[in-house]
Chain A
Amino acid sequence: MNPLEQLRLATRREFLTTAASGLGGVALSSMLSDEMASAGNANPTLTHSTHFEPRAKACIFIYMAGGPSHVDLFDPKPVLNRRDGQSMPESMLKDVEFAFIKKGDAVLKGSPAEFHRRGESGIEFSDLIPNIGSCADDIALIRTMHGEQFNHHPGQLLLSCGKAELGRPTIGSWLLYGLGNESQNLPGYVVLTAGRGASGGSSNWASGFLPSTYQGVPFRGQGDPVLYLSNPPGVRRTNQRRALDTIAEMNNLRREAMGDAEIASRTAQYELAFRMQSAAPELTDLSGETQATLDAYGLGRATPRPTADMQSGDTYHRFSTNCLLARRLVERGVRFVNIVHASWDQHGNLKHDLAWNARMADQPVAALLRDLKQRGLLEDTLVVWGSEFGRTPLGQGNDGRDHHPNAFSMWMAGGGAKGGTVHGTTDEIGWAPVDKPVHVNDFQATLLRLFGLDHERLAINYRGLQARLTNLEGNVIHDVIAGRN
């Protein structure tokens, strides 16, 4: 048994029950202790130590599941447009797998979108996302993302967990494990969904082999924001209070009799639950926001009529609300917010559906960036736009693209990310990286680094291996990290 594991076991009770403080903070400190001992650098307040000086405190991960098309949104390819309708050399197709495209009939498909330079940095963004484009100077855009999973769920697992395997912790779980939760009244890892769920379902916010304390907690669009938050019918806050007082009193008596500290932890969790019962509705009560803010995020926008493959209803409004809630969560000390939206899988109807999605996301995401910046929160809040893969420069049918993990785009802003940067270049049709490729694991290593965590050391022993988010891979991409002012 390694020392970390011993410490974890010895302090297990504390770990598993101190949801509001830095559980993993202690874990981390124990990992660091060896090193500090050798450096003679004793630090008595270890709880929130990190491996490096952290740049980010919170993360808003905008999880665009399905595979948004990089060549239509982030990575302009004039050559692709010129070669529209031509087939690709067989040599390039040899080792590639597709989910649906038949290699024999596939031809290149130019982009229906126009691109323009944005901001002082002049990064080119598609006209489908003009507002996001207007934040170019805060965005570090990586055009050479790549993975090896060409189906949705495995690709999402790779992005969420570092490996296309079920049963592993997701990014938010690792952050919470390493850094703890600063909110006294809310869970540290919150999931917001709009429209239909991602194909990975709950595995996109699972804690895997980490304790379930580190699981993402889905906040709901309907009913209680947190499952079972409301008291049962007829039970008011005063009744609940008296019930909890009785429970605490009885638990204390039992603790006297049995001498088990776990009983006190249980009482503490009930108290936290009670606080959450007022904190969560306060969070979702937007009456304190100005009309200007609500309008900026696009709350109350009508949702245009979607095509058959898309969800209808009030998706636009809900996505806008989620972006605003993300800011409110971060303001309240929540560590990781996952905004999931899953309709980017344009095998057909690309022209319409891509524009529909882009319109849904463009205004609120840009509003979020501006709002965070204006409030001084962007500095230590990392905002990520991510997806499990991009889409093929080859067309699928008349108006679609297939899954494409060989090259796609993701971006980050704030939290120490270097704004106004483009990292990496893909070839002239957006097929594969030609310069500075960034594997999904590299991205994850970089994300952890922005939180002051070393992806090679944030690890726990699982089935005989030192398991970590980046699996056995990952290199920090220093080029997308801003220098210190």
Chain B
Amino acid sequence: MHAMITRINCCMIVAVLSVAFIHPTDGNEVDFARDIQPILAKRCFACHGPAEREAGLAFHNRILATSKLESEKQAIVPGAPQQSELLRRITANDDSERMPPEGKALAAREIELLREWIEQGAEYATHWSFVSPTRPITPEANPPIWTNNEIDHFVLDRLKRDDIAPSPPADKAKLLRRGYLDLIGLLPTSEDLDAFLADDSEAAFEGVVDRLLASEHFGERWGRHWLDLARYADTFGYERDDVRPNAWRYRDWVIQSINRNQPFDEFVIEQLAGDLLPEPTRGQQLATGLHRMNIKNNESGINKEDYRNRETVDRVNTTGTALLGLTIGCCQCHSHKYDPLSQDDYYSLYAFFNNVEEKDVDIEGTQAERDRYEQAQQAYNAKKKRLEARQKLLAAMQEFKSFAAWQESVQEDKLAEQLELVGIRTGDDASTEMFWSSLESQADDTKKAIRQLSVDQRHLPKPYIMTLAEASENRRNTHVLERGDFKQPGKQVIPATPELFGSLTARNETPDRLDLARWIVRPKNPLTARVAVNHIWKHLFGAGLVASVDDFGTQGDAPTHPRLLDWLAVELIESGWDRKHVIKTILMSATYQQSARSRPELIAIDPENRLLARQSRLRVESEIVRDLFLDASGLLHRDVGGPTVYPRIPEAVGDLGYKYKTRWIVSSKPERYRRGIYIHFKRTNPYPSLLMFDGPESNLCQAKRNRSNTPLQALATLNDPVFVECAQALGRTLASESTTPRARIALAGTRCLTRILDERELASLMKLFESERTWYTQHSEDAALVVGEYTTDGTPSAAAAAWVAVARAIMNLDEFVTRE
């Protein structure tokens, strides 16, 4: 460590220092989980661990590690390092004796830790996240200031250890904007702001929070978070990437479930096993669409069993990552090298999903939709028949080379019909001649048209929803697959949950998905509630209390505030899995309401803000970037739910997919101005700005989004026609006002940034307004182009263009797309 500090830049010193924060305890006692387990896992488990027990020895379990071995020796003699074979072997000078046999010898510090640990009794402790949470005692806040609720006690307690003071509350206006962005992903209006600023009561913010939690847009904002985990997309993926019929109905189920605050345990049960509930409702069946969201290969010539296996694996892994925060995917090929999960455990989980059937269920009570589908299907059949006839005809015609020769071969009564098929008007010599001269290339067009038609057919709105069901016959047995290879089945396993977390209660002899789902959300499950509240925390602070939101295992990060995490987990469970309650509790905390202003002294010691001495500034997610533009411009169409929409995309973007142009018929207004969550998501060719701002590729369960900052993002918000149109619309609003230019700029500031601009800011934007007005006065043609369709009666175009420029600048400020 020391050598590193002297050499490497100060960022790294910060990193080294911040390591100390990550460890919950800091005494002299060797801590098994912190100090020993990682060494054993990294250097010993490969041969002596959950997967392998060479020489009968394994270190993942105290009994195995301290037993007499075949050789009569004992690897670990608690309290007696001198007699412990482990110590002798890791310190041996002879290469043939020294452990581990591969790689470098253990570092002196590691050997010392092992020695101390054995001396102190070689106690094993179960990894923190594998023990059920209990409600911890809330620390005293002394002096009792700053705190709003229990959360603050835990945070303050941790801050005090480093003598750090929390930050003052955020400016009231910015707090309002924060609440809006976090809960519904939309901006407060000027009226909202005025009302909030005028309300001096203690309960003012609580009123806002309650209102936002009850807003139907809350489900859009928080539903989208879940959809990342659900790998939601509107197409199947892989080569053909066909449209997934009615995927959006599952998306709407998620939005509605979150809006009605369905308890999280039910939310999980219905998605994993809604079909197995007694007399499931259509909604409960629809919920199982979760595990129809996986990528699916419809390419011809694939090995079906290969892909069925891959889909099953994805279902298991998604369940593990999204709900248990475990990297169980590792065990697909071998027992987990670090976490006590075996390959048997993996395939026992796999067994729960090994007999699912993909079942398409009729949409209830939508005769109109069924009729529409029928009609479209008939139209397709007719068109296809016609094209095929034309193709056949063209082939025949090519044989004859001349009109006259061909004409002779056709029965007279069929002639007119046939001619019509290839588009020749009877008796028109010119068109006949032209037709014959172009005959050579005609066949190609037809074949292409037939193909495109079949693509169109796949886009027809199907009258069913995709659900999971359990196969009732020809049920498969489940085998461990050696190296994860579906062609190498090994020993047979039955559905079971990992031993480590205790057994599950089954309703029948063989446990099924419903039993599994209930096991996942039973209060004693050590992971589920912690993982769930950690996700919530991440959305409200930018990072989870456990930074590795998808890895709660021994290789993951330790929680920065372990007791707070447990307190929240228990709060979630005891409130009846009430997500809105937990979210509200966090929003009401002083911790959440702190200013996001960074403090020089914190930059050095806590650059990532893990100790929560302030709020974080976070660039909003890809969908929300677009939503904010639309919202501030007044163009946003606020309908909730329904089929996907197709906003405008640049020419040729649709060409990037395979074979066929993406069928992208731009939605009409105002549909095309709907929120980002509703944009049709095509896996092999997604809507460009969604990915540019780090939206998920939606192929796999994704627990965390990046927040990159790139020039392509700048180009998008400056120049993408969608964003430009938003600037035009806001520009028109400003141009239509009858107040002074300064007042209008102030208005734009309030509308976009939810605060009063200061003098310097007003001056800066005024300067832009003046310079652009002068420029466009001399360049009136440009002015008209800048304003586009968004003209204002009575405003000279130069002024109107200058207002568009001002709007465009404000919407491109860092602050506009940042939640502070």
CA of A39 to CA of B713 in the docked complex: distance in angstroms?
42
CA of A125 to CA of B327 in the docked complex: distance in angstroms?
48
CA of A270 to CA of B712 in the docked complex: distance in angstroms?
9
Nearest-CB residue, chain A, relative to B765 = A246
B327 near A16 with CB under 8 A, answer: no
CA of A148 to CA of B724 in the docked complex: distance in angstroms?
47
Tell yes or no: B813 within 8 A of A by CB.
yes
**Which residues 218-238 of A have a CB within 8 angstroms of B?**
218, 220-224, 226-236, 238
Tell yes or no: B814 within 8 A of A by CB.
yes
Nearest-CB residue, chain A, relative to B817 = A266
Q: Mark B531-569, 1 if CB is under 8 A from A, else 0.
A: 000000000000000011011010111000000000000
A226 near B715 with CB under 8 A, answer: yes
Tell yes or no: A260 within 8 A of B by CB.
yes
**Which residues 245-296 of A have a CB within 8 angstroms of B?**
246-247, 249-251, 253-254, 257-260, 262-263, 265-267, 269-270, 272-273, 276-277
Contacts of B653 in A (CB 8 A): 227
**Which of B's residues lie within 8 Å of A, judged by CB?**
3-4, 7-8, 11-12, 14-16, 18-19, 22, 237-239, 241, 295, 297, 299-303, 321, 327, 329-330, 338-339, 441, 443-444, 447-448, 547-548, 550-551, 553, 555-557, 596-600, 603, 607-608, 617, 619, 650-653, 655-659, 683-686, 688, 691-692, 694, 697, 699-700, 706-716, 718-721, 724, 758, 760-761, 764-765, 767-768, 771-772, 775, 781-788, 801, 805, 808-810, 812-815, 820
Contacts of A238 in B (CB 8 A): 775
CB distance from A26 to the nearest CB of B (A): 8
- Interface segment among A95-103, A329-337, A406-414: the answer is A95-103
Tell yes or no: A308 within 8 A of B by CB.
yes
Contacts of B599 in A (CB 8 A): 259
B650 near A464 with CB under 8 A, answer: no
CA of A198 to CA of B330 in the docked complex: distance in angstroms?
30
Interface centre among B14, B557, B619, B700 (most CB of A within 10 A): B700
CB distance from B535 to the nearest CB of A (A): 16
Q: Which of B441, B700, B761 contacts A167 (CB 8 A)?
A: B700
Contacts of A446 in B (CB 8 A): none
CA of A197 to CA of B658 in the docked complex: distance in angstroms?
5
User: What are some 24 contacts across the A-B interface (CB < 8 A)?
Assistant: A12-B608, A16-B707, A16-B709, A33-B7, A37-B4, A151-B302, A166-B699, A201-B658, A201-B685, A202-B656, A212-B691, A223-B650, A226-B715, A234-B783, A235-B786, A239-B775, A243-B812, A247-B809, A263-B815, A276-B711, A308-B447, A342-B658, A461-B555, A463-B321
A212-B691, A212-B694, A464-B327 as given contacts; A308 in contact with B764, CB under 8 Å: no
Tell yes or no: A199 within 8 A of B by CB.
yes
CA of A464 to CA of B326 in the docked complex: distance in angstroms?
9
B715 near A308 with CB under 8 A, answer: no
B598 near A228 with CB under 8 A, answer: no
Tell yes or no: A302 within 8 A of B by CB.
no
B697 near A167 with CB under 8 A, answer: yes
A1 near B557 with CB under 8 A, answer: yes
A196 near B808 with CB under 8 A, answer: no
B658 near A273 with CB under 8 A, answer: no
CB distance from A421 to the nearest CB of B (A): 33
B721 near A232 with CB under 8 A, answer: yes
CA of A463 to CA of B548 in the docked complex: distance in angstroms?
8
Contacts of A342 in B (CB 8 A): 658
A202 near B686 with CB under 8 A, answer: yes
Contacts of A243 in B (CB 8 A): 718, 768, 805, 808-809, 812
Contacts of A257 in B (CB 8 A): 597
Contacts of A49 in B (CB 8 A): none
Contacts of A223 in B (CB 8 A): 650-652
CA of A100 to CA of B3 in the docked complex: distance in angstroms?
61
A33-B8, A100-B301, A258-B597 as given contacts; A16 in contact with B708, CB under 8 Å: yes
B11 near A11 with CB under 8 A, answer: yes
Contacts of A11 in B (CB 8 A): 11-12, 15
CB distance from B592 to the nearest CB of A (A): 17
Nearest-CB residue, chain A, relative to B445 = A308
A37-B7, A265-B709 as given contacts; A222 in contact with B651, CB under 8 Å: yes
Tell yes or no: A320 within 8 A of B by CB.
no
**Which residues 454-481 of A have a CB within 8 angstroms of B?**
461, 463-465
A243-B805, A251-B813 as given contacts; A228 in contact with B295, CB under 8 Å: no
Tally inter-chain residue pairs, CB-CB below 8 A.
Answer: 289
B712 near A226 with CB under 8 A, answer: yes
Interface residues of A, CB < 8 Å — how many?
99
Contacts of A215 in B (CB 8 A): 691
Nearest-CB residue, chain A, relative to B682 = A201
Contacts of B707 in A (CB 8 A): 16
Interface centre among A1, A228, A276 (most CB of B within 10 A): A228
CB distance from A473 to the nearest CB of B (A): 12
A19-B710, A247-B812 as given contacts; A203 in contact with B719, CB under 8 Å: no
CB distance from B658 to the nearest CB of A (A): 4
Nearest-CB residue, chain B, relative to A167 = B700
**Which residues 193-223 of A have a CB within 8 angstroms of B?**
193, 196-203, 206, 208, 211-213, 215, 217-218, 220-223
Contacts of B596 in A (CB 8 A): 258, 260
CB distance from A47 to the nearest CB of B (A): 11
B447 near A220 with CB under 8 A, answer: no
CA of A223 to CA of B655 in the docked complex: distance in angstroms?
13
Tell yes or no: A91 within 8 A of B by CB.
no
A16 near B719 with CB under 8 A, answer: no
Nearest-CB residue, chain B, relative to A197 = B656
A10 near B715 with CB under 8 A, answer: no
A247-B813, A464-B327 as given contacts; A213 in contact with B719, CB under 8 Å: no
A97-B303, A234-B786 as given contacts; A197 in contact with B657, CB under 8 Å: yes
A152-B299, A211-B706 as given contacts; A227 in contact with B448, CB under 8 Å: no
A37-B4, A199-B658, A258-B596 as given contacts; A464 in contact with B694, CB under 8 Å: no
Contacts of A14 in B (CB 8 A): 11
Q: Mark A147-159, 1 if CB is under 8 A from B, else 0.
A: 0000111100000
CB distance from A56 to the nearest CB of B (A): 25
A9-B15, A250-B809, A273-B714 as given contacts; A213 in contact with B608, CB under 8 Å: no
Nearest-CB residue, chain A, relative to B616 = A260
Q: A232-B785, A265-B709, A308-B448 are in contact. List 6 more A-B contacts (CB 8 A).
A: A151-B297, A166-B697, A196-B659, A239-B772, A260-B596, A464-B555
Q: Which of A153, A236, A269 contacts B782 (CB 8 A)?
A: A236
A203 near B321 with CB under 8 A, answer: no
A202-B684, A223-B650 as given contacts; A463 in contact with B712, CB under 8 Å: no
Nearest-CB residue, chain B, relative to A267 = B814
A33 near B764 with CB under 8 A, answer: no
Contacts of B787 in A (CB 8 A): 234
A11-B15, A258-B598 as given contacts; A228 in contact with B710, CB under 8 Å: no
Contacts of B767 in A (CB 8 A): 246
Contacts of B619 in A (CB 8 A): 262
Contacts of B724 in A (CB 8 A): 232
Contacts of B18 in A (CB 8 A): 6, 10
B718 near A273 with CB under 8 A, answer: yes
Nearest-CB residue, chain A, relative to B599 = A259
B801 near A234 with CB under 8 A, answer: yes
Tell yes or no: A42 within 8 A of B by CB.
yes
Task: Sort A-B residue pairs by CB-CB distance and give the 8 closest, nearest first.
Answer: A99-B301, A201-B684, A234-B785, A10-B15, A166-B699, A234-B786, A199-B239, A464-B327
CB distance from B233 to the nearest CB of A (A): 11
Nearest-CB residue, chain B, relative to A214 = B708
A259-B597, A308-B444 as given contacts; A10 in contact with B801, CB under 8 Å: no
Nearest-CB residue, chain B, relative to A235 = B786
Contacts of B801 in A (CB 8 A): 234
A212 near B303 with CB under 8 A, answer: no
Tell yes or no: A242 within 8 A of B by CB.
yes
A10-B12, A198-B658, A223-B650 as given contacts; A263 in contact with B712, CB under 8 Å: no
CB distance from A368 to the nearest CB of B (A): 23
Nearest-CB residue, chain A, relative to B705 = A212
